[in-house]
Chains A and B, each alone.
Chain A
Amino acid sequence: MIIKAILVAFFSFFIFLSHILWMHFFSPRRKFFFMLQYFCVVLVIYSGLFLFQFKSIKEEVDNAPSIFWFFLFLSSGFLVILFFYHCYLYLEQIIDRSPATRIMIELEKSPSKRLTLEELITRYSIERKIELELMDLVSLGFLRKDKDKFFITRRGLGYMRITRAFRDFFHLERN
């Protein structure tokens, strides 16, 4: 039963990935809300699929050798641990490095809890962020610095091509 639920969940996730086609051809303006709505629709589909009786899955599960399942279940725990760590790291990066978070904190810290754009620029310098990002990219080997100029390395080029392909496919703006 539980294995069936997991398999149906996996299948539902692949159905969710069909939103990629929508985002590519129709490019909705509010992408996150679109994905949220899509997630909810597929959750309903998951519910429907869950109630459906899959006899062939039950036979496959019953006939598989037990050592296979033992190894699979042990590995599923690894994935759970990886998932928790991924979420923790992502949350920390968002809170630490996101300009949006810093901007909101500066707004809250200001005496009247509101700022104009000019006041915000004096309190939080995105220029400094660019400088730190460039230092990071040099440390990671994506860029090299020759005198005062930055050049992209092969490693940086490979990474850039992947992210650019992703952004072009989803019609995402440069950030």
Chain B
Amino acid sequence: MKDLLLLKALILASICAVFSLIFQILFHYLRGLFCDYSNLQPVLKLKVKLKSLVGIGSICLICYIYLFFLSLPSLDEFIRIHLIKSLWVTFILGAIFYTALVIFYITIYYFIDRSVSATLLEIIASSHGLTEKEVKEIYGIGRKYIRELKGMQEGGFIVKKGEFYSNSLKGKFYVRLAKGFKNLLRLGPGG
């Protein structure tokens, strides 16, 4: 009974989350046809998006709670017959759960590692006030380009031939995905 309830919760939550995110993407795409947010200041863009994310997310939560308490005999039967007794399903579910925890940790890690704003705060905190020009000088714009390009070379996203940089196959694939996502969500050039 416990396994059944747990699996039901996980399946329903995943379905609700996926549907709500598809709706979220469609909403941004359609809204982008009428309003252009791409040139907004990044944090304002994020605030606009968060409002819709919270709104749609709340509806998703309500749907999930409703479905969880609803009697769904066909789902219960499917879980009982095909999922609960299968050792492989149980093993894979645990592996997915572990992977999800690791992904969550790594996203937080990289958010802190790659954060430009955290570096800017450190620079300004160690002074008694800095102008924009002074911040840029201390930050080292030239060095930033070199660091980014070096990181992308090490990751196999770009290659350097002589003085020229170009995308590798991996980089080209990533660019296609990124451009598609940007066009869908009307994100603008970004960077």
> Chain A residues in contact with chain B, CB under 8 A?
1-6, 8-10, 12-13, 16-17, 30-32, 35, 39, 42-43, 46-47, 50, 61, 69-70, 73-74, 76-81, 83-93, 95-105, 107-108, 113-117, 120-121, 124, 126-127, 129-137, 139-140, 142-143, 146, 148-152, 156-157, 159-160, 163-164, 166-167, 170, 172-175
Contact (Cβ within 8 A) A150 B132:
yes
B140-162 with Cβ < 8 A to chain A: 141, 144-149, 151-152, 154-155, 157-158, 161
CA distance in complex: A107, B61 (Å): 41
- Chain B interface helix/strand/loop/mixed: helix
29 A-B contact pairs sorted by A residue (CB < 8 Å): A1-B90, A2-B7, A3-B6, A5-B91, A5-B93, A9-B95, A10-B98, A43-B98, A47-B95, A73-B6, A73-B8, A73-B9, A77-B12, A77-B68, A88-B24, A90-B107, A92-B185, A96-B188, A96-B190, A100-B151, A100-B152, A103-B191, A117-B149, A127-B141, A130-B141, A136-B43, A150-B132, A156-B124, A164-B118
Closest Cβ of chain B to A135, distance in Å, is 5
The size of the chain B interface, using a CB distance under 8 A, is 106
Contact (Cβ within 8 A) B129 A2:
no
Contact (Cβ within 8 A) A134 B16:
no
Other-chain residue from B42, B102, B120, B146 in contact with A97 (beta carbon distance below 8 A): B42
B169 at the interface (CB under 8 A from A): no
Q: Identify 9 new A-B residue pairs, CB closer than 8 A, beyond the known A9-B101, A108-B171.
A: A6-B93, A16-B105, A42-B98, A101-B191, A105-B189, A108-B175, A133-B117, A156-B125, A159-B121
CA distance in complex: A81, B58 (Å): 10
CA distance in complex: A90, B181 (Å): 13
Q: Give the residue among A30, A120, A160 with the most B Cβ atoms within 10 A.
A: A160
B100 at the interface (CB under 8 A from A): yes
Other-chain residue from B16, B41, B148, B187 in contact with A139 (beta carbon distance below 8 A): B41
B129 surroundings in chain A (CB, below 8 A)? 146, 149-151
Contact (Cβ within 8 A) B145 A126:
yes
A121-B94 contact in complex given A87-B103, A104-B158, C-beta closer than 8 Å: no
A137 surroundings in chain B (CB, below 8 A)? 117, 120-121
CA distance in complex: A166, B5 (Å): 38
B80 at the interface (CB under 8 A from A): no
Pick the 9 closest A-B CB pairs, nearest first: A102-B191, A5-B94, A77-B13, A84-B17, A80-B13, A114-B166, A136-B43, A149-B129, A9-B98
Q: What is the count of residue pairs linking A and B with beta-carbon distances less than 8 angstroms?
A: 308
B27-41 with Cβ < 8 A to chain A: 41
Other-chain residue from A61, A113, A117 in contact with B166 (beta carbon distance below 8 A): A113
Which partner residue on chain B sits nearest A29 by CB separation?
B154
Other-chain residue from A76, A83, A140 in contact with B6 (beta carbon distance below 8 A): A76
Closest Cβ of chain B to A127, distance in Å, is 6
B48 at the interface (CB under 8 A from A): no
B158 surroundings in chain A (CB, below 8 A)? 103-104, 107
B100 surroundings in chain A (CB, below 8 A)? 83
